[in-house]
Chain A
Amino acid sequence: MTERKNLVVNPVKTCQPLGAVLACLGIHGCMPHSHGSQGCASYLRMQLSRHFREFIPTTTSSFSEAQVVFGGSGNLKQAIRNIIHIYKPQAIGVSTTCSAETIGDDAEGIIAEMRGSGELPEDVVIFTASTPSYKGSHVTGFASMVKSAVDSIAVKGAANDKINIIPGMISPGDIREIKRLLALMGIKAIIMPDISGVLDAPMTGKLKLYQDGGTPLEEIADMANSSITFALGQEASLPAALGLEEKHGVSAEMLPLPIGIENTDRFIMELSRISGKPVPAQLEEERGRLVDMMLDAHAHWYGKKAAIYGDPDIVEGITAMAVGLGIEPLYVLTGTKSNRWEETVKTIAPNAHVINGGDLLTLKDLMKEQPVDIMLGNSHGKFLAKEMDMPLIRVGFPILDRANLQHFPVVGYSGAAWLAERIGNTLLDWKDAHVPDHMLELIM
């Protein structure tokens, strides 16, 4: 395998603004605004539409050559005025693009200037995140926007009886599952951002620019008054939790995404510990059913080798789940470079080849040397899976070639059950499709 320093081939990441827009969509009544060329907003909308199969609003500053010479301040101000006038948001989340950052636009300063001049209505919250595409990835863009929203909106007041959960870049189905677990435990929580009810909104015959879901601004304000913040996943969630700790003294605790039985146990036990509430019998039962399913199917996946790739927090969770099933993660790869992630994954799967900040060509080169039995990751891996003739379980972002997956959780015991079913039965489907006729078995 040759070293490649200056060339990415088939990336496992995209740019910061995408994550920033996604974070804004999880805030109720919030319009994501992309400060840059119109094409940027168009790409973000297109990619998120393809993944979620939902209508994605995002406004643009619509740069032309003039802004590149004279600066984009005028365009941003005009954009903010137009957004407030036409789209009547409760909040606007401004993310910057590489051209805006390179010409030196200070989005935060421009907004402050508008506020200072008294032209912004009191009831519209505006926050900004610096998210040039030449730094980090969509995951860090997401983290920065969540942090910016929480930093700008949370206000210290009387203590509430809630906990904060920053869930990271997970699907609407995942957030619904986390809410269900919290309800079963009888714990009140503020989940921020919350894309459930936004990116899995029901068909009503109306196009709502602002869906009923999303974390309400009052709840974000109240995050300063909760007892603790759980950041689920270091890369996407920890920065906002640390911000709350610094500014408002709300203690931050990092947990891995509750993917797989052990991470879910840890999440549930922590909830139980901080609330002083016992784990309800219903959850014990759920866990029992999951273990029973794993018993019934363990022979189907035991000892299989896997390649797991995608965004760091989810990949970490899936790797832990795979290890728990007795699958050997041979390659674990993320496109978002993080040394902390590398260390953690090496602890979870000591024999794995961990690639920190790689692309799919790296994975292909490795798989050519030593193949695996199954791949777990986003849709971009399908060409590699076909070339190497192996099944692919679609999980993570983006999923562009399958429908409805956003509605099914991978977190919690039920998410683990769904994943276990997928992995086990996909391997059997694969076997059926590939064995000669006389080897096809009825009872497996």
Chain B
Amino acid sequence: MFNELEERQDFIVIKGRHKKAMKCDSHSVSGSVSQRACVYSGARVVLNPIADAVHLVHGPIGCAAYTWDIRGSLSSGSELYRRSFCTDLKERDIVFGGNERLAAAIDKLVQLYAPKLIFVYATCVVGVIGDDLEAVCKAASSKYGIDVIPVQSSGFMGNKAAGYRAACDALLKLIEPVNTDNIGKSRSINYLGDFNLAAETWIISNYFRSIGIEINAVLTGDSEYAKLKKTTDACLNIVQCAGSMNYLAHKLNDLYGMPYIDVSFLGIQDTSESLRKVAAFFNDDDIILKTEEMIKSQTAKANQAIERYKHHLCGKKAAIYVGGGFKAISLLKQFREIGIDVVMIGTQNGQPHEYDTLQELADEGVIIVDDANTSELEQFILEKGADILVGGVKERFLAYKLGVAFIDHNHNRKHPLSGYEGAVNFAKEVYSTVCSPVWKYALDQGGDSAR
């Protein structure tokens, strides 16, 4: 166990002991093993699923290499987004500026791939040397008659959440309607904050199709240039990953008067509630009837499937450490649906209102922590006797070394976790790791830390 820093105390609360406004949304402490990513990373994960776009990293090679195919987003069409493009800045560019190199790279990309859309991402060093992305992109746009959009994502300008905003600003430029006559005229909806990890967007789109609601554009799972250009045609925005897309929904409301509602398709309860909310918006008896029918049949089917796993899982304890507060709230509910008690909840970039919700929802004694460092994670997992940790790749092996099971609820997830199918997959995934015989051997090896 490692000593704690006093300056971290405000970032941690224990439910029941003290209700307090948690500190969050600030920089990591220098010298900590922070789990947090950067602005560029936040921007890239939001925009990356736009499949027929070129995603050009203006910076040194590392930024491009680590985010190559970073998100397991699937595309039904173009695979262009899965290539790694980089200006690979060299020392002379740092000294003399990288504008020319960037312009030349865009020329080459147009020649090689003839894209309709290029995103140019600013990295830390580009922010420091002050390359004029706006100007280079603007010149390229008019030269080729395509959208070349700068993403202002220098890594030191904040954390991942700032990157979400940078991505949303880039999206706003892209979806600005040329013709304002069609705004809100279609009876279809936009689905914000689903990235089609492991085909999740397709599952939710199917639900809407079967209750008679058409999806106009998805931001950004399995999306493409042409569809995004018509974003403002929709009459409603539904927002799932609030952390990344709330800002965009607000802006679309301000700019074009598009209404929005928050939804969550993680877990049975949230999925049903969200479908009802959207159906109610349309105030159409046929849609409402179809929605209720679907909820009834899907819930029965899912519950039956989950029952098979649930009795193996009842009484187990889970720790949550994920990127955003939205995901943490959903996971808390999902674990309850499969009979597992949540004992620790942490996020990398949760917002104050999300921490308030978590404090309300959590059971007595649950530890809630912002931007947990490695030693805190270890301490809380062991103290609370968690059987399973849910997190991202950097936490997986921490859990394994402690003899604690793990599921990836981040970009590396391999099974869809959305909707009713997702709820069943979640139970199955938890079951297949918690109940694997491997823990028997791990216990023999001294993995008693948590039991």
A and B associate: yes
* Interface residues of A, Cβ cutoff 8 Å to B: 2, 4-11, 13-18, 33, 36-43, 45-47, 49-50, 53-65, 67-68, 75-76, 78-83, 85-88, 97-99, 102-103, 132-135, 137, 201-209, 380, 383
A87 CB contacts on chain B under 8 angstroms: 2, 33, 375
In the complex, chain A residues whose CB is within 8 Å of the CB of B108: 2, 4, 6-7
A9 lies within 8 A of B85 (CB): yes
B428 interface residue per 8 A CB criterion? no
Please list 29 pairs of residues, one from A and one from B, whose beta carbons are closer than 8 Å in the complex, sorted by A's number: A2-B108, A2-B111, A6-B105, A7-B87, A7-B104, A7-B105, A8-B84, A8-B88, A11-B64, A40-B62, A42-B37, A43-B67, A53-B396, A62-B28, A65-B156, A80-B31, A81-B31, A82-B5, A85-B3, A87-B33, A98-B125, A99-B128, A133-B61, A133-B62, A134-B89, A203-B441, A203-B445, A205-B443, A209-B2
B398 at the interface (CB under 8 A from A): yes
Contacts of A8 in B (CB 8 A): 61, 64, 84-88
With contact pairs A58-B33, A64-B158, A102-B94 given, residues A10 and B394 touching in the complex (Cβ less than 8 Å): no
Among candidates A11, A55, A63, residue contacting B88 with C-beta atoms closer than 8 Å = A11
**B35 and A42 contact, CB distance less than 8 A:** yes
> Taking the nearest CB of chain A, how far is it from the CB of B381, in angstroms?
9
B87 and A82 form a contact (CB under 8 A): no
Complex alpha-carbon distance, A15 and B90, angstroms? 12
Q: Could you tell me the distance in whole angstroms from the C-beta of B348 to the nearest C-beta in chain A?
A: 9
| Cα A202 to Cα B112 with chains together (Å) | 48
Q: B101 on the interface (CB 8 Å rule)?
A: yes
A275 to B329, CA, bound (A): 64
Question: How far, in angstroms, from A86 to B400 measured CA to CA in the complex?
Answer: 23
Complex Cα spacing A75 to B32, Å: 11
Question: Is there a chain A Cβ closer than 8 Å to B402's Cβ?
Answer: yes
If A58-B33, A62-B30 are given as contacts, then 13 extra A-B residue pairs at C-beta distance below 8 Å, sorted by A number, are A13-B61, A15-B62, A33-B31, A38-B159, A43-B37, A81-B31, A85-B3, A87-B2, A87-B375, A102-B128, A132-B91, A204-B445, A208-B401
Q: Are B27 and A56 in contact (CB under 8 A)?
A: no
**Which residues of A lie under 8 Å from residue B114 when comparing CB positions?**
none
CB of B447 closer than 8 Å to a CB of A = yes
* Interchain nearest-CB distance for A151 vs B (Å): 23
Q: Is B60 an interface residue (CB 8 A)?
A: yes
* B157 on interface, CB distance cutoff 8 Å: yes
Whether the Cβ atoms of B30 and A50 lie closer than 8 Å is no
Closest beta carbon of chain A to B360's beta carbon, Å: 30
- Distance in angstroms from A106 CB to nearest chain B CB is 16
Q: Is the CB of B447 within 8 A of A205?
A: yes
Per the bound structure, the CA–CA distance linking A15 and B128 in Å amounts to 18
- What is the distance, in angstroms, from B283's C-beta to the closest C-beta of chain A? 45
Q: How far is the CA of A383 from the CA of B64 in the complex (A)?
A: 17
On whether the beta carbons of B38 and A203 are closer than 8 Å, the reply is: no
- The reply to whether A14 and B61 contact each other, CB–CB distance below 8 Å, is yes
Contact partners of B86 in chain A: CB under 8 A:
7-8, 11
B446 at the interface (CB under 8 A from A): yes
Q: Is B397 an interface residue (CB 8 A)?
A: yes
Q: A202-B445, A203-B445 are in contact. Are A60 and B394 (CB under 8 A)?
A: no
Within 8 A of A (CB), among B46-70: 59-68
B127 to chain A, nearest CB (A): 7
A202, B59: Cα distance in complex, Å: 38
Q: How far is the CA of A13 from the CA of B40 in the complex (A)?
A: 19
Docked complex Cα distance between A82 and B59 (Å): 30
Asked if B61 and A203 sit within 8 Å, CB to CB, the answer is no
Question: In chain B, residues 61-106, which have Cβ atoms closer than 8 Å to a Cβ of chain A?
Answer: 61-68, 82-91, 93-94, 101-102, 104-105
Q: Which of B90-140 contact A (CB under 8 A)?
A: 90-91, 93-94, 101-102, 104-105, 108-109, 111-112, 123-125, 127-129
Q: Using A61-B30, A86-B2, A133-B60 as known contacts, say yes or no to A68 and B127 having CB atoms under 8 A apart.
A: yes
A38 touches B36 (CB 8 A): yes
Q: How far does the Cβ of B290 sit from chain A's closest Cβ, in whole Å?
A: 41
Size category, B interface: 35 or more
The answer, yes or no, to whether B242 is at the interface (CB within 8 Å) is: no
A contact residues around B393 at 8 Å (CB): 46, 49-50
Query: How far apart are the CA atoms of A417 and B394 in the complex, in Å?
Result: 33
- Judging by beta carbons under 8 Å apart, are A207 and B401 in contact? yes
Flag if A42 contacts B36 (CB, 8 Å).
yes
A111 to B356, CA, bound (A): 42
Q: CA–CA, A102 to B130, complex, Å? A: 11
Q: Does B304 contact A (CB under 8 A)?
A: no
A contact residues around B82 at 8 Å (CB): 383
**Given the complex, which residues of B lie within 8 Å of A57, measured CB to CB?**
33, 374
Cross-chain contact A39 with B85 (CB below 8 angstroms): no
B205 at the interface (CB under 8 A from A): no
Q: Return B267 CB to nearest CB of chain A, in Å.
A: 27
- A380 — which chain B residues lie within 8 A by C-beta? 68
Most buried by B among A17, A62, A76: A62
Q: Tell whether, in the assembled complex, residue A15 and residue B61 are in contact, meaning their CB atoms are under 8 Å apart.
A: yes
Evaluate contact between B85 and A135: CB separation under 8 angstroms.
no
Residues in B neighbouring A79, C-beta threshold 8 A? 30-31
Q: Which of B29, B31, B102, B157 contacts A65 (CB 8 A)?
A: B157
Alpha-carbon gap, A18 to B62, bound state (A): 8
Give A75 to B27 CA distance when docked, in angstroms.
12
Question: Do A38 and B65 touch across chains, with their CB atoms under 8 A apart?
Answer: no
B397 touches A82 (CB 8 A): no
Which residue in A2, A4, A42 is a CB contact (below 8 Å) of B41? A42
Which residues of A are found within 8 Å of B5, using beta-carbon distances?
A: 82, 85-86
A9 and B155 within 8 A (CB): no
Determine the residue in chain B with the shortest Cβ distance to A92: B31
A10 touches B398 (CB 8 A): no
Which residues of chain A have C-beta atoms less than 8 A from B392's C-beta? 46
Kindly state the separation between the CA atoms of A17 and B123 in the bound complex, as whole angstroms.
16
Tell me if B319 is interfacial: C-beta within 8 Å of chain A. no
Residue of B nearest to A63 (CB): B156
Roughly how many angstroms separate A80 CA and B400 CA in the complex, as a whole number? 29
CB nearest to B4 among chain A residues: A86
A16 to B, closest residue via Cβ: B62
Partner of B38, one of A37, A134, A205, A208: A37
Whether B32 contacts A62 by the Cβ 8 Å rule is yes
The reply on B405 being an interface residue by CB < 8 A is: no
User: Is there an interface contact between A97 and B41, defined as CB atoms closer than 8 Å?
Assistant: no
- Scoring A13, A39, A60, A204 by chain B CB atoms within 10 A of each residue's CB, the highest score goes to A39
B94: which A residues are within 8 A, CB to CB? 98, 102, 132, 134
On whether the beta carbons of A39 and B37 are closer than 8 Å, the reply is yes
Name the B residues within 8 Å of A37 (CB-CB): 38, 124, 155-156
Task: State whether A39 and B447 are in contact (beta carbons under 8 Å apart), knowing that A78-B30, A97-B124 are contacts in the complex.
Answer: no
Q: Are B124 and A203 in contact (CB under 8 A)?
A: no
CA distance A45 to B392 in the complex (A): 12
Q: How far is the CA of A17 from the CA of B62 in the complex (A)?
A: 9
Cβ–Cβ < 8 Å partners of B102 in chain A:
6
B105–A47 CB distance below 8 A: no
Most buried by B among A11, A47, A135, A137: A11
